[in-house]
Amino acid sequence: MSAQGAEIEVEGRRVINFTSNDYLGMAAHPRVIKRVQSEVSRHGFGAGSAALLSGRSTLQAELEREIAAYTGAESALLFSSGYLANTGTLPALIGKSDFVAHDRFNHASLIDGVLSSKAAHRRYPHLEPATVTESMGRSRGQNFLVSESLFSMDGDQAPLPELQTTAAEHNAVLYIDDAHGFGVTGDGRGASAILGRTGNRRPTTIIMLTLGKALGSAGAVVLAPASVREYLVQRARTFIYDTALPPVCAAAALEALEIMAIDNQPVRQLQTNIATFRSLAKEAGLVLLDSTTPIQPLMIGDDRQALEVSKKLYQQGFYVRAIRPPTVPRGTARLRITLTATHTSVQLENLVAALLATRNL
Ligand SMILES: Cc1ncc(COP(=O)(O)O)c(C=O)c1O
């Protein structure tokens, strides 16, 4: 596999890539590469130890400050990955006597984090938090409401203002995983922008965003009030007992953030590509799931047929992965088409033509 981009090499074959979460084309952006090359000679590669020992470099501290400023958060704490951020933060904050309401389609790392807290919990039907308000009303501990902002398999979005209101009404802490929303929604600021703009009463809100998707690097950041950040530094086991993120990963994320923030051009280009693809698909009679995000699933249903279509597309030079159970519910195998700011309109037109040709396999 070559470097990320709209066109990549897979096992020696050049293909147009519709599988990547590098939504803004930052993973191999020339400016990011140049910045990393220059920082690596100063900082070396590995962090060498956990952040609480000597693993925290000035670059990591700068990244926390910059992301907090960009999203309007009080503070930010850097983890080595989104998986570690979720599985460390949730059990650090949630006690055995608390209650957690969480979306049925949440990412595995959120589920693992909730389960390891040993708190009572209920998984509510996808996007329907109202169905668990009664249980929250009965809870005697602290309530938590946990959801992804943009769901990674369907490309649909959580009703963030409704979650915010529900959390405020039930005195719940709102925990949002913005792995796929940051850099994409809310003019790039993701869930922070959407939640910040509502006039609702604000519950305590914690947002986890990953640096390995729209920012094209690796790692994750938890945005939280300063007192929560301080608590996590003392209590989140995946922060305390983990070798810190290599400083050059922080440098790559910092550079990507700067490129993104200058004039929002990559974010706007991504939105244009999403609109272009959806309109081409509609004209061609292809029925996509109702998603306005870069994740555009084309439902196939049958596992084997989904694999077959993916294989045919690959033979024609398009890399599109079939997603099957257990990642998605039985009978909902699909092609997960992910769009990026770096796709050209010709590449989008060609994909739609290829999808049409393979539709009736
Ligand atoms: C919704 C969601 N949360 C968390 C993660 C984990 O992030 P990371 O890949 O940085 O561990 C992912 C990544 O696949 C994700 O899609």
> Tens of pLDDT along 115-141?
999 999 999 999 999 998 888 888 889
Distance of CA 149 from the midpoint of ligand 1 (Å): 12
Which residue's CA is minimally distant from atom 5 of ligand 1? 82
pLDDT score recorded for residue 165 = 93
Pocket test for ligand 1, best of 81, 107, 112 (most atoms within 8 A of CB): 107
Residue with token string 């996007």: 127
* Mean pLDDT, residues 197-225 taken together: 91
Distance of CA 180 from the midpoint of ligand 1 (Å): 8
Evaluate if residue 197 carries a pLDDT over 80. Answer: no
Q: How many CB atoms lie within 10 A of CB 108?
A: 11
Which of 55, 59, 79, 54 minimizes the C-alpha distance to 239? 79
Mean of the per-residue pLDDT values of the chain: 94
Print burial letters for 123-159: b (CB count within 10 Å at least 16), e (below 16). Answer: bbeebebeebbebbeebeebbbbbbbbbbbbbbbbbe
CB 198 within 8 A of CB 51: no
Distance of CA 184 from the midpoint of ligand 1 (Å): 15
Beta-strand relationship, 143-148 and 99-103: parallel
Poorest-confidence range of 123-132, 170-179, 197-206?
Answer: 197-206
Fold of 7-28+264-358: Aspartate Aminotransferase, domain 1 (3.90.1150)
Q: Name residues whose C-beta falls within 8 Å of residue 237's C-beta, 6 or more positions apart in sequence.
A: 88, 91, 92
Whether 29 is catalytic: no
3-class DSSP assignment, residue 8: strand
* Mean pLDDT, residues 292-310 taken together: 93
* Mean pLDDT, residues 34-63 taken together: 94
Which of 306, 291, 299 minimizes the C-alpha distance to 180? 291
* Mean pLDDT, residues 77-81 taken together: 98
Its CATH architecture, for the domain 44-262, is 3-Layer(aba) Sandwich (3.40)
pLDDT score recorded for residue 202 = 82
Pocket test for ligand 1, best of 23, 81, 109, 176 (most atoms within 8 A of CB): 109
Evaluate if residue 44 carries a pLDDT over 90. Answer: yes
Which residue's CA is minimally distant from atom 7 of ligand 1? 82
What does the alpha-carbon distance between residue 308 and residue 81 come to, in Å, rounded to a whole number? 33
Name the catalytic one among 107, 121, 170, 343: 107
Which atom of ligand 1 is least distant from the CA of 84? 11
Where does ligand 1 bind, in terms of residues with CB under 6 Å?
Answer: 81-83, 86, 107, 109, 148, 152, 177, 179-180, 210, 212, 220
Q: Extract the runs of DSSP E, i.e. beta strands, from 116-188.
A: 120-124, 143-148, 172-177
Max CA pair span of the chain? 59
Distance of CA 210 from the midpoint of ligand 1 (Å): 7
Whether 21 is catalytic: yes
pLDDT score recorded for residue 31 = 97
Q: Tokens for 339?
A: 């769009």
Whether 213 is catalytic: yes
Q: Tokens for 288?
A: 């996509």
Evaluate if residue 72 carries a pLDDT over 60. Answer: yes
3-class DSSP assignment, residue 280: helix
Whether 312 is catalytic: no
At 199, is the pLDDT very low, low, confident or very high (cuts 50, 70, 90)?
low
Whether the upstream peptide bond of residue 30 has omega within 30° of 0, thus cis, is: no
Whether 22 is catalytic: no
pLDDT score recorded for residue 198 = 67
What does the alpha-carbon distance between residue 172 and residue 26 come to, in Å, rounded to a whole number? 36
Assign residue 246 a region (left: φ > 0; alpha: ψ between -120 and 50; beta: otherwise): beta
Evaluate if residue 265 carries a pLDDT over 60. Answer: yes
Beta-strand relationship, 220-224 and 172-177: unpaired
pLDDT digits (tens, 9 = 90+) for 10-24: 888 899 999 999 999
CB 208 within 8 A of CB 177: yes
Question: DSSP letters along 310-356, please?
Answer: HHHHHHTTEE-EEE-TTTS-TT-EEEEEE--TT--HHHHHHHHHHHH
pLDDT score recorded for residue 121 = 96
pLDDT score recorded for residue 263 = 83
pLDDT digits (tens, 9 = 90+) for 236-262: 999 999 999 999 999 999 999 999 988
pTM across the whole model:
0.95
At 360, is the pLDDT very low, low, confident or very high (cuts 50, 70, 90)?
low
Name the catalytic one among 17, 20, 21, 106: 21
pLDDT score recorded for residue 181 = 98
3-class DSSP assignment, residue 262: helix
- Does 7-28+264-358 match 44-262 in CATH topology? no
Question: DSSP letters along 99-136, please?
Answer: EEEEETT--HHHHHHHHHHT-EEEEESTT-GGGGHHHH
At residue 45, φ and ψ (nearest 5 deg) are -100, -65
Poorest-confidence range of 21-25, 61-65, 197-201, 261-265?
Answer: 197-201
Evaluate if residue 232 carries a pLDDT over 80. Answer: yes
Any idea what DSSP says for residue 269? H
Name the catalytic one among 39, 64, 103, 148: 148
User: Which sequence spans correspond to the domains of the chain?
Assistant: 7-28+264-358, 44-262
What does the alpha-carbon distance between residue 25 and residue 175 come to, in Å, rounded to a whole number? 28
Whether 152 is catalytic: yes
Distance of CA 179 from the midpoint of ligand 1 (Å): 6
Whether 106 is catalytic: no
Q: 3-state SS of the chain: helix, strand, coil percent to 5? A: 45, 20, 35
Q: Tokens for 1?
A: 């596999």
Beta-strand relationship, 7-10 and 13-17: antiparallel
Name the catalytic one among 22, 39, 154, 177: 177
Identify the bridge partners of residue 248 per DSSP, sorted by sequence position: none
Evaluate if residue 315 carries a pLDDT over 90. Answer: yes
